[in-house]
Structure 1
Amino acid sequence: MNSADYRSTLHDYAMPAEWQPHLATWISWPHNQDSWPGKFGPVEPVMVQAVAALAASEPVYINVLDAAHEKHVAALLEGHASAGRVKFHRFPTNDAWCRDHGALFVTGRAAGAEPLLALNFGFNAWGGKYPFELDNAIPPQMAATLGVPCVTVDMVLEGGSIDVNGAGTLLTTEQCLLHPNRNPNMTQADIEQALQDHLGVQQILWLGDGIVGDDTDGHVDDLTRFVSADTVVTVIEQDPTDDNYTVLGENRERLAKMQLHDGRPLQVIELPMPKAVEYKGDRLPASYANFYIGNSVVLMPSFNDPNDAVNAGILSNAFPDRKIIPIDCTDLVLGLGTFHCLTQQVPAPPG
């Protein structure tokens, strides 16, 4: 399918919510030690825990650099995740953040539409902050592996900058999508139209700024996430002296006023933030909102904090049909992201 064909049938496709059934979860195995300076050692064991939890109910596809890297990762996973549930792809990347450099998938919702289609948005490493040429080449490789059409979209967009409810609404932030380092020639109206056209949504809800330490310019997946068609969880800071207090309070006020496109109020559940996580004096973007919803589990970042248990309970109530898996991300977050940033779901085609 070429871009012209796709644009003529945009209304036939939509991006499913993350909790809808997955064909697989895709990750790019961490390898760039510059992202975890002096602390790369703990990263791979955390990833082993994550893959083992996911592989219990869905295949996990893993991008690796080459044959030697594949052998290394396979040895780490041995005895933790069934080899039959893990598939390696020798697709080299600059870094591990598959949420942002991977393909975004939409599914057909009308007769004659492709069941599954990959969208290849542009990726520029969050405004040119890091090398990205290998990462930007990943979406077509993912599509080819799956045997699905791939459509290139002339717009920079990272998966972590958006969240959808699978029922016509998308949530994002002004700090990220309106930042001039992404799409300087697009107005807010242009961006909204592109999101509606390509992701099959009817409504865009805008939050303001992101949390301190987030070098992605305010990704929404560190702030607020849909947990059902009409409900979000959102992080809040209870300490008025904390640097995140004001910005999270302002976003909470916005959420309180939001309605869905059918006029229903948006339901909001609060997730209290952990105490500040720092490394060599720098604040890291530790957030409970960066969880990942698998077919039978929710991978929840934990931070050796009293609020770990509080948030596990909140997410358990939000996802009663899934097991909440808290995994210590105190070291992992040095890379400036956790489980949602490191994963990309491949939705199961309808039917």
Structure 2
Amino acid sequence: MLTNIPADLDFSLLPEWYPHSATQLHWPSNRQTWPGKRLKKVEHIYLDIIEVLHNYEAIHLFVENKKVHKDVLFLLEERGIDLNQIVFHIQAINDVWARDCGPLFVCREDNGDIDYAIVDWEYNSWGEKYPPYDADNKLPDYIAFKYGITRFNPDMVLEGGAIETNGDGVLLTTESVLLNPNRNPQMTKGEIEKRLKDYLGIRKVIWLKGGLAGDDTDGHVDDVARFLNENTILAMRADSADDINHQVLDENLKILHKATGRLGYSFAIETLPMPQTRIEGATVDGSTHVPASYTNFYIANGVVLVPLYDKRYDREAMRLFRQYFPDRDIVGIPCADLVWGQGAIHCITQPWYGL
């Protein structure tokens, strides 16, 4: 069922630590994103992620055609992966960024029962940067129809990596993305905020300034600040004033230290240092930096997948996640080759709930 306006305002965006029914992934096959030998390198990272993740929850793996499906089956069997944990969708896809084009699940309690729905935001490949993107934009509709789940259509461009919630009505985002004229030029800041509140059950929006150099999304929040729990925010910091990201991260931290929750409480702020983001040569869009960030982690059932980039700081990152998620396994995934495509683990995953 499709509806443009929520039946009521009781549906709320779920925090990532809420129990998942599955994770959505797209098998990498876009040669523009992964030219030459880079595609094989990224496939290896995907196999590493699937090998870990399938032990904790089901994976809905989207592959673009039957040939890719056959090839991926062979690779998974070589790794000894339990195929009963993998649900294949042979479906047209444009790229791997499931976080940004996939369905955002919301839920509400109704007489003791939990109802789930999908909010189907428009996806335009971060301001029409990488056409075509129509196949990815259709995925929430496909998922809602296939599984018979209610789908809301807010008629607004929004990517999942641009927002982050604590599950208590607070949402983090960045001005550099949501106020960018390449998304919703017809909408004011107030109108955008109201749309977020109406469709995601948000009570309060914390607006950070921007994101990282080399982030072709214009600065997604999942590369600069994420909730570790309802009351704690992990933010990236750049210790050197010469770091290309120093100014924006410093501005973001100042905002976070002053920010309050829905009921006026202050947040505890944890920080991690930026790993090396400058690369040799340039990415496909000409950037000499990549958005390598420890905030691009993924919380799944029983495990947290942590991107690793830089031996100077990887151990510190792993210690922090073990501290905040003592009941989950903490698994590091080397992501230097993945982030060359300008995204990491959080960017390629989309949690499903209630299906």
Measure how far apart 1:305 and its partner are: 2.4
Three-state SS of the structure 2 residue aligned to 1:321 is: coil
Counterpart in 2 of 1:240?
A: 241
Structure 1 residues 145 and 112: CA distance shift in structure 2, 3 A: farther
SS of 2:205's equivalent in the other structure is strand
Alignment correspondent of 2:269: 268
Structure 2 partner of 1:325: 331
Offset at residue 279 of structure 1 (A): 3.7
1:327 and 1:229 mapped to 2: Cα distance? 25
Moved more, 188-197 or 141-150: 141-150
Show CA shifts across 1:185-240 (max 9, x none): 11111011000010111110110011110000110000100111111101111122
- Provide TM-score, normalisation by structure 2: 0.94
Matches of 1:304 and 1:77 in 2, distance apart? 28
- Structure 1 position 18 matched with structure 2 position 16: yes
- Residue equivalent to 1:96: 96
Residue 177 (structure 2) pairs with residue 179 (structure 1): no
Please report how far the alpha carbon of residue 145 of structure 1 lies from its aligned counterpart in structure 2 after TM superposition.
2.8
- In the TM superposition, residue 113 of structure 1 has moved relative to its aligned partner by 8.1
Identity of aligned residues (%): 39
| 1:286 counterpart letter in structure 2 | A
**Which 5+ residue runs of structure 1 have no aligned equivalent?**
none
Q: TM-score, normalised by structure 1?
A: 0.95
The 5-angstrom pairing of residues 287-306 of structure 1 reads 287-306=293-312
Give 2:118's aligned amino acid.
A
Give the corresponding residue for 2:285: none
Partner of 1:64: 63
Q: CA deviation at 1:144?
A: 2.3
Q: Distance in 1 between matches of 2:170 and 2:248?
A: 23
Tell me the distance in 1 between the aligned counterparts of 2:75 and 2:93: 19
Please name the residue that 2:348 is paired with: 342
1:114 positional shift: 6.9
For residues 266 and 145 of structure 2, what CA distance do their matches in structure 1 show?
41
Q: 1:114 to 1:186 in 2, by over 3 A?
A: farther
* Aligned counterpart, 1:231: 232
Moved more, 197-206 or 67-76: 67-76
1:112 CA displacement: 9.2
| Equivalences for residues 1-351 of structure 1 within 5 A | 1-3=1-3, 6-9=5-8, 11-38=9-36, 39-78=38-77, 79-111=79-111, 115-131=115-131, 132-281=133-282, 282-348=288-354
Separation of aligned partners in 1, 2:332 and 2:166? 23
Deviation of residue 335 (structure 1)? 0.7
**Aligned-partner residue type, residue 86 of structure 1:** I
- Please say if residues 279 and 334 of structure 1, whose CA atoms lie closer than 8 Å, have aligned partners that are also in contact: no
What secondary structure, in the 3-state scheme, does the structure 2 residue paired with 1:121 have? Answer: coil
Contact kept, 8 Å, 1:275 with 1:305, in 2: the verdict is: no
Partners of 2:168 and 2:262 within 8 A in 1: no
Would you say the 8 A contact 1:12–1:113 is kept in 2? no
Can you give the 5+ residue segments of structure 2 that lack an aligned partner in the other structure? 283-287
Confirm or deny: 8 A CA contact 1:108 1:116 kept in the other structure: yes
Using the alignment, how far apart are the partners of 1:246 and 1:184 within structure 2? Answer: 26
By how many angstroms is 1:45 displaced? 0.9
CA distance in 1, matches of 2:354, 2:225: 24
Q: Offset at 1:27?
A: 0.9
Secondary structure (helix, strand or coil) at the match of 1:153 reads: coil
SS state at 1:87 partner: strand
Question: Given that residues 13 and 113 in structure 1 are in contact (C-alpha distance below 8 angstroms), is that contact kept between their aligned partners in structure 2?
Answer: no
Please report the RMSD computed on the Cα atoms of aligned residues, expressed in angstroms.
Answer: 1.5
For 2:74 and 2:240, the matched residues in 1 are separated by 44
Task: Please tell me whether the aligned partners of residues 235 and 272 of structure 1 are also in contact (alpha carbons under 8 angstroms).
Answer: yes
More off after superposition, 270-279 vs 134-143: 270-279
Aligned length: 347
Report which stretch shifted further, 19-28 or 272-281: 272-281
Going from structure 1 to structure 2, the CA distance change for 1:196 and 1:41 (only over 3 Å counts) comes to same
Deviations 1:40-67 (A, max 9, x none): 2210110011112111111000111111
